[in-house]
C-alpha cells in the first residue's frame, strides 16, 4: 500500500501550478460546497501537481494514494495490527483524511478494484459518511474533508473503467497539456531554462504530439520539465532529448531513432 502527504517540489516556498483555465475556481467552489471532485486528463499533464497546489492553497493536509490492482478497502480505511501490547487499529489514509478534515486524493482511480471503490459511495454524496465495519464506527467527515480522484481517459477499457454509479457522484473537470505559450512559461518557472530553449522544446513537443505513430503516450508536460531541468544544468540538448523524450516513449529502437530524427530538426548542435 502506497500513500503519502504531498512531496511536490516547491517553487519559492510554494507548490507551483500554472492554471490552464478555471480549474482553480472550480476546485474552490467544490471544496466550499463539500462536493467530491473528479479530474480527467492524460499522463503528466499536471493533475497531481494541481491537487497538491490546491491543498496548500486551502491549508488542508493531503493524503495521496496511488491506486493499483491490489488496492483493498482495508488499504484505504485501515486495519488491525499486532503490536507489543496486543492488537491495535491503524487508520488508513482515507480514514485519516475523514477524521482530520483533509483532502484524500486517489490517483488513477480506475486502477483500483471496483469492490474497493464502493467504499467511497457514502462519502461521495450528501451523507459524507465512512462506515468502518471492523471497529463498528460510522464516521461523519470533518469539516474541510474533500475527496478527489483522477484518471486518464485514454486508459479506460471494458475491464478498467469507472462505474457510472461512481462517476456520477462527482463534479468533474478535464485537464490537458497546456497551450504552447503557457507550457513554455511552465518550463521556465520550473527549471529556469532560457526562453529560446524552452520555445524549442515546446515546438519539438508539438511536432512529436502530431506524429502518426504507434506510441501509447505522447510527450507529457512532466517529461518536458525533466528535459528543461537537465538542459538548464548544461547537458547536451540532443542527449537530453534522447533520455527524457525519446527513450521514455518507446522501447522500439527504430521508433526511438525516428523520434530523435525529429529532435535533430530543433537541436542540431
At what angle are helices 195-210 and 180-191 packed, to 10 degrees?
130
State whether residue 118 is helix, strand or coil: helix
Pair 195, 211 in one domain: yes
Q: Indicate the range of 7-16, 207-216, 243-252 predicted with least confidence.
A: 7-16
User: How far is 257 from 247, CA to CA, in rounded Å?
Assistant: 9
Q: What CATH number is attached to the domain comprising 48?
A: 3.40.50.300
Domain C-terminal end among 134, 158, 174: 174
The CA-based angle 36-42-47, given to 5 degrees, is 45
Q: What CA–CA distance (Å, rounded) separates 183 from 169?
A: 32
Domain boundary pick from 174, 189, 213: 174
Pick from 40-49, 112-121, 150-159, 241-250: least confident:
150-159
What is the arithmetic mean of pLDDT over 245-269? 92
pTM above the 0.75 mark? Answer: yes
Question: Is pLDDT at 6 greater than 70 in this prediction?
Answer: no
- Tens digit of pLDDT for each residue in 210-247? 886 678 788 999 999 999 999 999 999 999 999 999 99
pLDDT score, position 199: 95
Q: CB–CB of 42/151 below 8 Å?
A: no
| Residue tagged 485501515 (cell numbers) | 78
**pLDDT at 9 exceeding the cut of 50:** no
Q: Both 86 and 139 in a single domain? A: yes
Q: How large is the average pLDDT for residues 239-264?
A: 95
Task: Give the chain's domain count.
Answer: 2
| pLDDT tens digits, 24-71 | 999 999 999 999 999 999 999 999 999 999 999 999 999 999 999 888
Please say which residue of 174, 205, 237 terminates a domain: 174
Residue 113 shares a structural domain with residue 194: no
Q: Are 61 and 5 in contact (CB under 8 A)?
A: yes
- Same domain for 104 and 217, yes or no, is no
Range of the domain at 166: 3-174
Amino acid at each position: 500500500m502506497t500513500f503519502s502527504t504531498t512531496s511536490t517540489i516547491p517553487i519559492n516556498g510554494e507548490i507551483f501550478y500554472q492554471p490552464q483555465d478555471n480549474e482553480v475556481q472550480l476546485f474552490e467552489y467544490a471544496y466550499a460546497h463539500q462536493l467530491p471532485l473528479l479530474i480527467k486528463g492524460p499522463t503528466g499533464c499536471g493533475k497531481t501537481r494541481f491537487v497538491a497546489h490546491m491543498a496548500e492553497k486551502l491549508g488542508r493536509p493531503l493524503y495521496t494514494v496511488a491506486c493499483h490492482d491490489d488496492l483493498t478497502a482495508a488499504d484505504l480505511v485501515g486495519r488491525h495490527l499486532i503490536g507489543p501490547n496486543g492488537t491495535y487499529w491503524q487508520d488508513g489514509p482515507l480514514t485519516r483524511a475523514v477524521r482530520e478534515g483533509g483532502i484524500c486524493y486517489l490517483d488513477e482511480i480506475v486502477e483500483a478494484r471496483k469492490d474497493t471503490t464502493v467504499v467511497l459511495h457514502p462519502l461521495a454524496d450528501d451523507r459524507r459518511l465512512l462506515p468502518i465495519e471492523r471497529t463498528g464506527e460510522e464516521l461523519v467527515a470533518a469539516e474541510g474533508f474533500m475527496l478527489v480522484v483522477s484518471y486518464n481517459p485514454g486508459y479506460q477499457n471494458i475491464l478498467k473503467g469507472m462505474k457510472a454509479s461512481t462517476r456520477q457522484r462527482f463534479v468533474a473537470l478535464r485537464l490537458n497539456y497546456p497551450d504552447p505559450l503557457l507550457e513554455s512559461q511552465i518550463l521556465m518557472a520550473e527549471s529556469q531554462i532560457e526562453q529560446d530553449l524552452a520555445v524549442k522544446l515546446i515546438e519539438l513537443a508539438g511536432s512529436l504530439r502530431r506524429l502518426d505513430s504507434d506510441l501509447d503516450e505522447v510527450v507529457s508536460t512532466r517529461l518536458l520539465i525533466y528535459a528543461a531541468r537537465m538542459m538548464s544544468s548544461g547537458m547536451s540538448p540532443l542527449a537530453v532529448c534522447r533520455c527524457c523524450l525519446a527513450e521514455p516513449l518507446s522501447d522500439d529502437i527504430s521508433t526511438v531513432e525516428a523520434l530523435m530524427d525529429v529532435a535533430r530538426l530543433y537541436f542540431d548542435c
